[in-house]
Amino acid sequence: MPFKERQLAYDDMLAGTGIAIAYDPVGSGRVTLKAAKGDGAVIAEASFGPDRVDEAHILYMEATELLRSRAKLGEGFDAIRPLVEKLFAAFRGERVTYDRAPAKEVKPSAELAPNPGKTIEIDVDGMTYERLPVRTRLITMDDTDLMPIIANYAGPHLRPGDILFVSEKAVCIVQQRVVDIGTIRPTGLARFLARNIGNAYGSADFRGFGHGTSIAMQLFIEEAGYPRVLFAAAVAAVTRPLGIRGMFYRICGKRAKSIDCPMSFLILEYAHAAKLAPLDPDGVARAIRERFGCEAVIVDANYRGAFSLGKTSRAITEPFIMRAFRDNPAGQSDEMTPFVILRKKTGTGPA
């Protein structure tokens, strides 16, 4: 069911951050978002026409996630206000720059620990594996080579027999495969197909936009190609009522499926960005194996599961990847752990 536009007010973090977010449909399909202090004084505002309501939805989710995450860090109004102002400015189409100094200062960790809410050990096919997320500095589009970053942060921890899983987002960034949302012009086909993607936006079951926005679907169509998308949509229309799900994505392929929009809820540098599919992910995986002597997988993982875009061994099967990454141990927001080392703890197994 399509999300019904209605007024929304988020003040859960008002006591800690001093900021609330208001989402206000103002008629004729337009939407205005405001970030305000407790006394009602507006500190940031952005308006969207009927053709940009998807962006309004994204901004509302990103603004509320920003307040939640910063409140957990114990940051107050003075620290959070400039971040909120920059986030709204980006969605108004203004050019925004970010202070990267804190990310540059992240040093390689001596010990690897799980992300919050995740576990290190996981049983897959009767074997126990350790999943060791590797925290890095923020990878930006100033980076053009992933190898030094892997060497600096993951290299000291790699052992014989390890498998290095690399987030496809990290690959896309160094390949400059990132586009500003404001440059995407959705077609009628993109709007129609996006309405049929069930991401449960506006309900308690919402976990992410996926391809349920017209801007993400437009990139999806351009990656897969119009003929394939139309064929896939026709097949899905026939098979879905029969209980056969997922044919649309199977036909369109993993590269199109890897399209992401928005690219990040909490890393502000990519808050108004979409991610294209990485180029030659198999070649990237092989280059990692040649450099570091371990098997490698370029993986797309999120709350719905995981799949490979490139890998160095067929023995690392898709079902294995899905089970090993079923809860996305690399995180999905500001953890900044784009590499995960998978290490067999006992016995032998498929890896």
For residue 23, what are the domain limits?
Answer: 8-91
Q: Indicate whether 1 belongs to any domain.
A: no
CA distance 334 to 138: 9
58 and 31 share a domain?
yes
49 and 169 share a domain?
no
224 and 250 share a domain?
yes
Q: Give the per-residue pLDDT at 2.
A: 46
Across 197-221, average pLDDT: 82
Q: Indicate whether 266 belongs to any domain.
A: yes
170 and 296 share a domain?
yes
256 and 285 share a domain?
no
Q: Indicate whether 199 belongs to any domain.
A: yes
Q: Indicate whether 2 belongs to any domain.
A: no
203 and 265 share a domain?
yes
Main-chain phi, psi angles of 215, to 5 degrees? -70, -40
Q: Give the per-residue pLDDT at 346.
A: 62
Total-model pTM: 0.86
CA distance 192 to 256: 17
Residue 106 has pLDDT above 70, yes or no: no
162 and 286 share a domain?
yes
195 and 145 share a domain?
no
Structure-token pair, residue 124:
């897959």
CA distance 151 to 131: 18
Which of 205, 223, 217 has its CA nearest to residue 303? 205
- DSSP states of 291-316 as a string? HHSSEEEEEEEETTEEEEEEES-TTS
CA distance 266 to 279: 25
Q: Give the per-residue pLDDT at 101.
A: 44
Q: Are strands 42-48 and 121-124 parallel, antiparallel or unpaired?
A: unpaired
Largest distance between two CA atoms of the chain? 63
Residue pair 348/127 in contact by the 8 Å Cβ criterion: yes
Domain boundary pick from 223, 241, 275: 275
Q: State which amino acid sits at residue 267.
A: I
Q: Indicate whether 96 belongs to any domain.
A: no
pLDDT tens column, 76-85: 999 999 999 9
Q: Indicate whether 3 belongs to any domain.
A: no
Q: Give the per-residue pLDDT at 283.
A: 97
Residue 102 has pLDDT above 50, yes or no: no
266 and 187 share a domain?
yes
Residue pair 297/350 in contact by the 8 Å Cβ criterion: no
CATH of the domain at 163: 3.30.1330.100
How many structural domains is the chain composed of? 3
Across 260-265, average pLDDT: 86
Structure-token pair, residue 109:
């960790």
52 and 115 share a domain?
no
Main-chain phi, psi angles of 294, to 5 degrees? -125, 155
Residue pair 77/18 in contact by the 8 Å Cβ criterion: yes
pLDDT tens column, 286-325: 999 999 999 999 999 877 789 999 999 999 999 999 999 9
**What is residue 113's three-state secondary structure?**
coil
- DSSP states of 116-181 as a string? TT--SEEEETTEEEEEEEE--PPP-TT---SHHHHHHHTGGG--TT-EEEEEHHHHHHHTT-EEEG
Across 168-182, average pLDDT: 94
Report the run of H or E that residue 44 belongs to, with start and end.
Answer: strand 42-48
Q: Indicate whether 350 belongs to any domain.
A: no
Rounded to whole angstroms, what are the CA distances from 181 to 46, 251, 277?
15, 26, 15
What percentage of the chain reaches a pLDDT higher than 90? Answer: 66
Instruction: Kindly report the length of the chain.
Output: 351
Contacts of 137 (CB under 8 A, 6+ apart): 103, 104, 105, 106, 336
80 and 167 share a domain?
no
Mean pLDDT of the chain: 89
